[in-house]
Amino acid sequence: FDEPNKKATYTISLIYSELYNVLSNMPPEHTEDLGNGQKKTIFQKSVPMSTYLVCFAVHQFDFIESNSKRGIPLRIYVQPQQKHTAVYAANVTKIIFDFFEEYFAINYSLPKLDMIAIPDFGTGAMENWGLITYRETNLLYDPAESSSTNKQRVASVVAHELVHQWFGNIVTMNWWDDLWLNEGFASFFEYIGVNAAESEWEMLDQILIDDVLSVMVDDALLSSHPIIVNVSTPAEITSVFDGISYSKKYLKDNQFKNAKTDDFWKAQAEVSGKQVKEVMDTWTNQMGYPVLQVQKESTIIQSRFILDPSSNPEEPPSPFNYLWNIPLQWYTLTGKNGTDFLNLTKPTGMHEIISIDLPYNSTTDGLLKINTNHVGFYRANYEEPTWDKIIEQIIKKHEVFSVADRTGLIDDGFSLGRASLLNYFVPLNLTKYLKNETEYLPWVTAVKSSLYIENMLKDDNTLYPMFQVKQSSNLGWKDEGEHLERLLRTDVLGLACQMGDEEALSNASQLFNRWLTGARVEPNLRLLVYRYGMQTSGNVSSWEYMFKRYQETPLAQEKDKLMYGLASVENIQLLGRYLNYIKNESLIKSQDVFTVLRYISLNKYGKTMAFDWARMNWEYLVERFTINDRNLGRLIPRITTSYNTELQLWQMNELFYKYPDAGAGKVPRKQALETVETNINWLKNNKATIAQWLQDNVNA
């Protein structure tokens, strides 16, 4: 039974060729020679666990080992030639493992912990108890060849899988509808774990851009789903493993058992003495989230936030009518602050106004900012004169707002503009302060917001050139500085290249041409150089040289950068050749098929080619990967994210009509279509406004 609540103990035995070694969840108990070149290993009996955590590996790998504070052996298994790339993961595993044992106040349950890097692995990683499997990009790091982004990714995925050894493995969700009890905690605690190992990375701030703001896009669609979602079929179970999905008492009470969401609220209530369930049910049992509108300076009214203003905010029906119990933090620039509660004492009619008045006076208290440090899962909107004052203040002295608040203001501003709840002049004017911004989080948020507009306008020959403005940057093209400065440089230079900044593209092209003659490119600049060098000066010989390098490099992270570079060539014949390689497993690994298609779809020529290839080869993809494959289910949403015409929408509808099971469950199909419908409406609603702003500000 693949039922998470049917926990059992396992005694695993494997018969295998003596040329190989074997691993499983538990250490080996006994190995015997069977003759004829065969061996048999019996492993120790496991603790009670769910079937989905059972694992074994037959391999010819080497390992490096460290020991936890309590003496638990922590091993990382890799291909022999890659042993040096496992050192960072080994070091970070020990630090985070010891930290979690102390933090959760529960010892790790097994006598050993192995991690293994699989050369062709469809998912990112899997938390099998005592034997965690990884895609190579998520475990192996070469300090001479890998980027800062790669390093952070390794630490984050290792931490995420280590959290699961407690949340998910010791205490497991009772059924897949409570998947968030596994994934939500792993996603949250991974940041705390990495912060213990790499404190200067400011991971507790980065959670905002990596997990919170990114999910707020999906959760503002009608095709979203509640955190707790009824699932019954394999396709539906697959579809809830998406972006939407802290109590020691909870772990202790449910050790080696299964738990439901209410068990967690009960543990929280007993520890805190607060009515946790009453507050949290409005967040876990309905999709979406609110926007809080500040009216008459201090009155706050909530309503459901939806990206597409033409959507019906009452659909689909919700038991709480899309109203939430909201803990609310606020402050003023004169130092006044408070915590209030927007309370629903009972399920309320959709049109009944739930509001509160803050003890705030604009004359004496100065500017009001709600959602302190953007910790609340909601958007905040102000009346336009208040926004104007915020912009005036942030341009004059942006440090009066914290890094998280500056990030939140940018994200809220652009999202409210996208939803037609705010004139686009407001967020666009807000970006004028960025010339003084030196922090990573606000910049990465501004880049993401700008790239959405850039994607929407790319096919407009009149408007798009106005949008391609020079991006001033003092960061330069030297790969130097602390971790966050390196991340910031990559993002800012990437934006400059994407916007067609001539100086940035020229630098990328020069470094690319030097690379073609054997010069080394610094790790944090490589993706930019491969992408934009290939885009601006790529030809058949440079493309073939890059493909040769792709085949030769043993480092998966470098392969990934080269894959993106190959997809960036503005040559239809070469893109067609790349698409044809997908069916040749000796050229493109199975794990990389969907990555290649996504990278090609980001090319202005490849946008149509990737979709057409997927459409024409759908039956081949289903046969190769199976209909319920999670990555196949995400393919169409991922490669059509910038579609914004009625013709493109029609083509997608035709595909889903021909293959009604395309995608893992209904949700990804709905999300794909709704995203494109939202894009079409966005263009209709905002094109003229953005053209006017560009006219007034860029060409003035």
CB 234 within 8 A of CB 628: yes
Average pLDDT over residues 418-432: 95
Nearest of 541, 525, 478, 532 to residue 506 by alpha carbon: 532
pLDDT band at 469 (very low <50, low <70, confident <90, very high): low
Tell me if 403 is assigned to some domain: no
User: Which residue numbers belong to the known binding site for Zn(2+)?
Assistant: 160, 164, 183
Q: Which two tokens stand for residue 246?
A: 């802290």
Residue bearing the bigger pLDDT, 325 or 275? 325
pLDDT at position 236, please? 54
Average pLDDT over residues 258-281: 85
Residue finishing a domain among 256, 281, 306: 281
Q: What do you get for the CA distance between the two ends of the chain, in Å?
A: 68
Q: Is the confidence at residue 346, as pLDDT, over 50?
A: no
pLDDT at position 56, please? 98
Tell me if 277 is assigned to some domain: yes
Q: Which residues contact residue 359 at a Cβ distance below 8 angstroms, ignoring those fewer than 6 apart? A: 298, 338
pLDDT at position 643, please? 97
Tell me if 431 is assigned to some domain: no
Task: List, in sequence order, every beta strand (DSSP E) within 345-429.
Answer: 355-357, 368-370, 379-381
CB 57 within 8 A of CB 131: yes
Q: Which residues contact residue 296 at a Cβ distance below 8 angstroms, ignoring those fewer than 6 apart? A: none
Distances (CA, A) of 466 to 112, 427, 500, 679, 686: 59, 18, 11, 20, 15
Residue finishing a domain among 258, 281, 304: 281
Distances (CA, A) of 644 to 163, 199, 306, 307: 40, 42, 18, 15
pLDDT at position 482, please? 96
Query: Quick check: is 482 catalytic?
Result: no
pLDDT at position 229, please? 63
Of 101, 127, 136, 161, which residue is the catalytic one? Answer: 161
Q: Which two tokens stand for residue 51?
A: 């079937």
Tell me if 288 is assigned to some domain: no
pLDDT at position 272, please? 80
| Secondary structure of residue 578 in the 3-state scheme | helix
Tell me if 167 is assigned to some domain: yes
Tell me if 327 is assigned to some domain: no
Give the CATH number for residue 526: 1.25.50.20
Nearest of 291, 501, 495, 255 to residue 376 by alpha carbon: 291
Tell me if 191 is assigned to some domain: yes
Query: What does the alpha-carbon distance between residue 339 and residue 359 come to, in Å, rounded to a whole number?
Result: 11
pLDDT band at 213 (very low <50, low <70, confident <90, very high): confident
Structural domain including 520 reads 462-697
Average pLDDT over residues 172-192: 85
Question: 389-396: long-range contacts at Cβ-Cβ below 8 A with a sequence spacing of 24 or more?
Answer: 390/430, 391/426, 391/429, 391/430, 391/432, 391/433, 393/333, 393/367, 394/430, 394/433, 395/432, 395/433, 395/436
pLDDT at position 246, please? 40
Q: Is the confidence at residue 353, as pLDDT, over 70?
A: no
* Owner of token pair 């290792």: 158
Q: Render pLDDT for 620-639 as a digit per residue (tens, 0 to 9).
A: 999 999 988 889 989 999 99
Residue type, 511: L
- State phi, psi for 101 to the nearest 5 degrees: -60, -40
| Secondary structure of residue 494 in the 3-state scheme | helix
Tell me if 276 is assigned to some domain: yes
Q: Render pLDDT for 136-164 as a digit per residue (tens, 0 to 9).
A: 999 999 999 999 999 999 999 999 999 99
Q: Is the confidence at residue 664, as pLDDT, over 80?
A: no
Give the CATH number for residue 138: 1.10.390.10
Peptide bond into 316 cis (omega under 30): yes
Number of domains within the chain: 2
Q: Render pLDDT for 379-404 as a digit per residue (tens, 0 to 9).
A: 999 999 999 999 999 999 999 999 99
Residue bearing the bigger pLDDT, 357 or 384? 384
Residue type, 231: V
